[in-house]
């Protein structure tokens, strides 16, 4: 059975790929749970906790994104590829289980699983596929993972959290640098996975699906927070506000640009570069949605209590991070950024000195008003303009 996708290959995600996504639904709940604890119990400290959660999240995203790139180049129905997806599912689940104490007692488990997964599946695929379709690509990826692997393992075994964070940060820079640059290697050069052979429709759909996973995780947080509350009127108001904000996040993402990712990749002169940049835009948006979900938890459980200034990182910073990623995506698809998104980012920034004097629910409402303004500007623009054709800048 051919390994590289052909013209007639199914472009939609397979059921096995969707099954893999369920693991990452669980992983996101573990990430958000860590961050919620950092905002409420204060044992790790908010900034230190956020930094740790970010490193764990980036490692999980690296696993998912490399899998998606591979299945958008190779046929996901091929038995060898399906086996790699199953291996990925088992490894990612182990990493997700380790997340709550991923910088403590379970750090070795998280790091060693990550290294074994990233290197092991490349080696397995090379052996099972007898070096097809490109042995040079295997060598490139293994060399780069070989550079980061010792940092992951030593960091996982280190007793000092600062040393662990430093080593893992460098390791992630190597892993993400390799992915972004196409794993440049002496003598054999560089090549992003698949190059222009990437199935644009499949890759675009997978980005959209993961973003929906993040929105689904936010809904999960909302439901758990409200069901665990005393159902007071103010908590019910926070529940409704959080749901409305989630709808606005969905609406802003899928307004035009989020729907035509495949067309943008297909029209790009450098499809591999554009697809890579889209991955980082989605990474930013998903991180923003997860952080926004944490803000939902905070203003549902404590709607009228004292608002610690650090909570604004989630309540206002989450939507701002989402809008920043969405602005980057709009530039990648259309070669420009709507003024409404820039105005939304500015408004969220200007709200910070005011919001410190508000209660959590009012601060959440202010963030929702900004999102509503962005979504409203999109709706007005749609009524007065014909559908826009993607014009990627490169």
Please state the length of the chain.
Answer: 394
C-alpha–C-alpha distance, residues 372 and 391, integer Å: 27
C-alpha–C-alpha distance, residues 146 and 80, integer Å: 23
In which band, very low, low, confident or very high, does the pLDDT at 3 lie, cut at 50, 70 and 90? Answer: confident
Res 8 pLDDT > 60: no
Q: What is the 3-state secondary structure (H, E, C) of 258-327?
A: HHCHHHHHHHCCCHHHHHHHHHHHHHHHHHHHHHHHHHHHHHHHCCCCCCCHHHHHHHCHHHHHHHHHHH
How do residues 165-203 score in pLDDT, each as one tens digit? 999 999 999 999 998 888 999 988 887 765 556 788 888
Buried b (16+ CB within 10 A) or exposed e, 250-263: bbbbebbbbebbbb
In which band, very low, low, confident or very high, does the pLDDT at 208 lie, cut at 50, 70 and 90? Answer: very high
Mean pLDDT of 203-220: 95
Task: State if pTM tops 0.85.
Answer: yes
C-alpha–C-alpha distance, residues 80 and 129, integer Å: 7
Mean pLDDT of 310-316: 97
CB 218 within 8 A of CB 292: yes
Buried b (16+ CB within 10 A) or exposed e, 34-46: bbbbbbbeeebeb
pLDDT at 1: 53
Q: What are the CA-CA distances from residue 178 to residues 137, 148, 165, 173 (Å)?
A: 12, 10, 20, 8
387 phi, psi to nearest 5 deg: -55, 135
Give the number of other CB atoms < 10 A from CB of residue 160: 9
CB 20 within 8 A of CB 89: yes
Res 385 pLDDT > 80: no
Q: Please spell the DSSP secondary structure of 24-58, one letter per residue.
A: HHHHHHHHHHHHHHHHHT-SS-HHHHHHHHHHHHH
In which band, very low, low, confident or very high, does the pLDDT at 7 lie, cut at 50, 70 and 90? Answer: low
C-alpha–C-alpha distance, residues 370 and 382, integer Å: 19
How do residues 9-45 score in pLDDT, each as one tens digit? 657 788 999 999 999 999 999 999 999 999 988 667 8
Domain ranges across the chain: 15-197, 200-384
Mean pLDDT of 135-160: 94
C-alpha–C-alpha distance, residues 315 and 294, integer Å: 8
Mean pLDDT of 250-264: 92
Question: For residue 348, which of 311, 310, 319 has the smallest C-alpha distance?
Answer: 319
Mean pLDDT of 94-99: 97
Mean confidence (pLDDT) of the chain: 92
pLDDT at 2: 64
pLDDT at 225: 96
Mean pLDDT of 275-303: 96
CATH number 2.60.40 is the correct assignment for the domain at 200-384: no
C-alpha–C-alpha distance, residues 311 and 280, integer Å: 25
């Amino acid at each position: 059975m051919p390994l590289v996708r052909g013209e007639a290959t199914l472009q939609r995600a397979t059921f096995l790929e969707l099954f893999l996504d369920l693991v990452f639904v669980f992983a996101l709940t573990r990430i958000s749970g860590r961050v919620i604890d950092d905002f409420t119990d204060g044992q790790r400290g908010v900034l230190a906790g956020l930094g740790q959660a970010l490193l764990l999240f980036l490692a999980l995203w690296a696993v998912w994104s490399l899998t998606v790139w591979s299945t958008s180049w190779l046929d996901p129905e091929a038995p060898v590829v399906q086996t790699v997806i199953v291996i990925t599912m088992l490894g990612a689940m182990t990493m997700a289980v380790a997340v709550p104490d991923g910088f403590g007692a379970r750090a070795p488990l998280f790091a060693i699983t990550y290294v074994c997964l990233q290197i092991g599946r490349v080696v397995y695929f090379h052996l099972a596929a007898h070096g097809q379709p490109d042995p040079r690509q295997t060598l490139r990826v293994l060399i780069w993972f070989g550079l980061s692997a010792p940092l992951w393992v030593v960091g996982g075994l280190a007793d000092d959290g600062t040393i662990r964070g430093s080593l893992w940060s460098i390791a992630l820079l190597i892993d993400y640098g390799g992915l972004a640059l196409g794993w440049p290697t002496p003598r054999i050069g560089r090549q992003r996975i698949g190059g222009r052979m990437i199935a644009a429709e499949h890759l675009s759909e997978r980005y959209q699906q993961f973003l929906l996973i993040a929105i689904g995780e936010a809904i999960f947080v909302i439901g758990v927070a409200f069901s665990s509350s005393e159902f007071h009127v103010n908590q019910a108001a926070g529940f409704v506000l959080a749901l409305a904000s989630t709808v606005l996040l969905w609406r802003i993402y899928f307004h035009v640009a989020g729907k035509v990712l495949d067309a943008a990749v297909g029209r790009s002169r450098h499809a591999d570069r554009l697809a890579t940049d889209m991955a980082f835009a989605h990474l930013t948006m998903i991180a923003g949605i997860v952080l926004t979900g944490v803000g939902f938890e905070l203003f549902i459980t404590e709607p009228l209590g004292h608002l610690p200034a650090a909570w604004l990182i989630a309540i206002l910073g989450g939507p701002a991070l989402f809008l920043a990623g969405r602005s980057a995506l709009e530039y990648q698809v259309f070669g420009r950024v709507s003024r409404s998104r820039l105005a939304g980012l500015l408004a969220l920034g200007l709200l910070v000195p005011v919001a410190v004097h508000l209660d959590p629910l009012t601060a959440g409402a202010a963030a929702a008003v900004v999102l509503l303004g962005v979504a409203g500007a999109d709706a007005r623009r749609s009524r007065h303009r014909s559908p826009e054709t993607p014009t990627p800048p490169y």
